[in-house]
């Protein structure tokens, strides 16, 4: 290996992040490393140059110029490294506070502990197992300068490694599965176990000090849960005079009148001064109370490497010996299904489990079809409607008489295990019949699929959905909107399953035709592509026997992991696209406990004789 001036500088890659666990995993296939208290750094080396990025992709080469210069001394062509830049105290422990001071003063030597290599001499190593990447990294760092060090690991005995780390006063450990690839997201193949709390929090305000010359007495801290900032306590120690003055000057530029927190206690709010929640602070603490408030917090410094919105509350996960979700064992749980969102089969299964309470009332006990993408949505996907031998037992079947008179076994879901089993077989989308298994010939819903031509903007689709709603109201029918996760909107009408397919289909065709005849410049009721230019196709064919439509809360086979999401009519005007809701966003919506379709199941209605005559 030798340095070459012609080697290109590798591009930034977002880092893999560890999930928080209460205790480290067992087994020799886990490698345990020290959890450092510094700045995460992705380092690119190539063409005799070194560049250092923060975890969010900011170029901090100037800030860490000494480390960047030392990296160019490695005898290699090009590489992309992952590690942590730290300052060690007199006991050899990394200290974020000392690192902050070192960056201000510029005298204390910095050390870059490297624990992974993502690219080497133009070869992408991210799909290689960690154990293999470690072997390459050891060779790359052989003979490295003193400031560039290999982060050692210990195989197995995670509980003992953590106990020793805690005895030495370290922050904790990070445990990594030796046979897993590198993924740019938070994963369950990297797990962190902590001795003491040491995390980032957003500053949302402060309390004024009664001491002359001191700009504040304490900072008011929080962390985001989705889009909402939740109060996590106040910190009043860890500040020197320079820090007090610096923070006071920053606060003066960020003042606001209202609290940025959704739940700040009244006694705290009474004397608080609020600021825009943009500053991120590193905070040490002993523990959290049951309601999330920090005990014995101490301020360590500001973090400029992480946007405030990324300070999201982390739930402590419990790892089972196998990858079991809702009683369903997953094979290849770390396989990435949604490339842009970097979400895996495990993430999909956990989403379906979390969404099951909302999703199952619309999905259970009816024939369905799946869009399966076993290798991920970027590769080959296919529809499947029949049950096949070897499928998970939780996936059930229903006998359906097909057009040729033969009886076929269609897929059906009964419960949460069945829903999660969809993820196990790489099922990404769930599409439903308009009737249940018990009453196959009597549809219990009516759907108008508003499918816009690519030249039609989403605002026009929103207007169209409201027009369909209004027309249905004249027929005495209540409807509910669903943004499809693709381009359009479904207007969904619950029915009491008292009418047959021909009746429902005839009515749907009549409504679509009426709209198309009334406003031909906006709507078309025929599938012919040539007639859809600049218009919205009102697809009424979803309402015939055997046709399906995407299920509420079903993910879509899109790289960004968009979701077909039920919304309210009042909310629809604020939504900017049919694909704005993704799996992470829907998970946050589910936590709010407000259901925009809460009245759906209580609606009892059928198509009246007058409506059938009018739309015939």
Element (H, E) at 200: strand 197-207
DSSP state string for 327-373: TEEPSSTT-EEETTTTEEHHHHHHHHHHHHHHHHHHHTTS-EEEEE-
Burial class from Cβ neighbours inside 10 Å (0-12, 13-18, 19+) for residue 289 reads exposed
Element (H, E) at 30: strand 30-34
CB-side exposure of 70: number of CA atoms within 13 Å?
Answer: 18
499 contacts: CB under 8 Å, gap ≥ 6: 442, 443, 606, 607
- Beta-strand runs (E) in 433-544: 445-452, 480-483, 489-494, 523-524, 536-539
User: Please, what is the Cα angle at 17 between 221 and 591, to 5 degrees?
Assistant: 55
**Cα-based torsion angle of the residue sequence 502, 504, 506, 510 in order, rounded to the nearest 10 degrees:** 180
Distance CA 349, CA 346 (A): 5
User: Please, what is the Cα angle at 233 between 231 and 239, to 5 degrees?
Assistant: 125
Of 38, 40, 51, nearest to 79 by C-alpha is: 51
Distance CA 115, CA 151 (A): 5
Distance CA 47, CA 38 (A): 27
CB 282 within 8 A of CB 300: yes
Distance CA 404, CA 9 (A): 62
| Beta pairing class for 536-539 and 523-524 | parallel
Catalytic (active-site) positions: 35
User: Please, what is the Cα angle at 426 between 421 and 430, to 5 degrees?
Assistant: 70
Distance CA 207, CA 184 (A): 39
Distance CA 427, CA 250 (A): 50
Distance CA 103, CA 66 (A): 11
Element (H, E) at 408: strand 407-413
440 contacts: CB under 8 Å, gap ≥ 6: 367, 398, 400, 433
Of 359, 353, 243, nearest to 298 by C-alpha is: 243
Secondary structure of residue 252 in the 3-state scheme: helix
- Beta-strand runs (E) in 416-566: 427-432, 445-452, 480-483, 489-494, 523-524, 536-539, 549-550, 565-566
* Helices marked H in 190-308: 241-252, 266-269
Secondary structure of residue 464 in the 3-state scheme: helix
At how many degrees (to 10) do helices 345-363 and 416-424 cross? 140
Of 486, 348, 510, nearest to 419 by C-alpha is: 348
In the chain, % helix, strand, coil (3-state, to 5) comes to: 25, 30, 45
């Amino acid at each position: 290996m030798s340095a070459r001036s012609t080697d290109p500088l590798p591009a930034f890659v977002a880092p893999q992040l560890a999930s928080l666990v209460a205790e480290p995993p067992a087994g020799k296939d886990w490698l345990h490393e020290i959890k450092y208290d510094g700045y995460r750094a992705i380092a690119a080396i190539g063409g005799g140059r070194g560049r250092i990025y923060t975890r969010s992709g900011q170029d901090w080469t100037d800030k860490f110029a000494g480390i960047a210069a030392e990296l160019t001394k490695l005898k290699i062509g090009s590489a992309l490294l992952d590690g942590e830049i730290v300052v060690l105290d007199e006991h050899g422990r990394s200290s974020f506070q000392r690192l902050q001071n070192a960056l201000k003063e510029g005298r204390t030597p910095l050390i870059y502990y490297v624990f992974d290599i993502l690219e080497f001499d133009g070869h992408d190593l991210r799909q290689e197992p960690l154990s293999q990447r470690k072997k390459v990294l050891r060779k790359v760092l052989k003979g490295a300068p003193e400031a560039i060090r290999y982060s050692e690991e210990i195989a197995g005995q995670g509980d003992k490694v953590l106990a020793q780390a805690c005895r030495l006063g370290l922050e904790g450990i990070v445990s990594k599965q030796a046979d897993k690839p590198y993924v740019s997201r938070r994963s369950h193949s990297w797990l962190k176990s902590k001795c003491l709390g040491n995390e980032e929090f957003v500053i949302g305000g402060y309390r004024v000090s009664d001491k002359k010359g001191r700009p504040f007495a304490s900072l008011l801290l929080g962390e985001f849960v989705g889009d909402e900032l939740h109060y996590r306590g106040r910190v009043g120690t860890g500040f020197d005079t320079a820090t007090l003055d610096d923070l006071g000057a920053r606060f003066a530029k960020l003042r606001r009148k209202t609290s940025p927190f959704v739940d700040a206690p009244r006694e705290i709010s009474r004397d608080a001064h609020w600021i825009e929640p943009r500053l991120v602070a590193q905070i040490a603490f002993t523990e959290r109370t049951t309601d999330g408030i920090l005990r014995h917090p101490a301020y360590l410094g500001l973090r400029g490497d992480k946007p405030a919105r990324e300070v999201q509350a982390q739930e402590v996960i419990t790892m089972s010996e196998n990858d079991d979700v809702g009683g369903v064992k997953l094979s290849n749980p770390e396989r990435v299904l949604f490339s842009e969102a970097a979400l895996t089969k495990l993430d999909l299964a956990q989403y379906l489990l979390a969404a099951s309470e909302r999703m199952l009332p619309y999905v259970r006990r009816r024939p369905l079809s799946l869009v399966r993408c076993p290798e991920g949505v970027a590769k080959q996907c296919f529809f499947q409607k029949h049950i096949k031998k070897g499928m998970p037992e939780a996936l059930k079947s229903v006998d359906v008489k097909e057009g040729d008179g033969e009886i076929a076994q269609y897929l059906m879901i009964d419960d949460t295990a069945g829903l999660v089993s969809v993820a196990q077989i790489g099922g990404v989308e769930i599409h439903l019949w308009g009737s249940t298994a018990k009453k196959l010939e009597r549809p219990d819903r009516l759907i108008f699929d508003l499918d816009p031509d690519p030249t039609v903007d989403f605002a026009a689709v929103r207007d169209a959905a409201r027009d369909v709603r209004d027309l249905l109201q004249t027929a005495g029918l209540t409807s509910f909107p669903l943004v499809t996760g693709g381009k359009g909107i479904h207007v969904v009408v619950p029915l009491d399953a008292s009418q047959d397919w021909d009746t429902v289909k005839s009515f749907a065709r009549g409504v679509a035709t009426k709209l198309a005849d009334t406003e031909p410049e906006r709507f078309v009721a025929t599938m012919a592509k040539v007639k859809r230019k600049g218009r919205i196709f009102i697809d009424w064919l979803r309402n015939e026997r055997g046709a399906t439509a995407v299920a509420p809360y079903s993910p879509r086979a899109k790289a960004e992991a968009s979701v077909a999401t039920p919304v309210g009519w009042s909310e629809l005007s604020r939504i900017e696209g049919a694909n704005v809701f993704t799996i992470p966003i829907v998970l946050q919506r589910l936590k709010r406990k407000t259901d925009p379709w809460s009245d759906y199941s209580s609606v009892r209605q059928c198509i009246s004789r007058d409506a059938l005559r009018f739309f015939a």
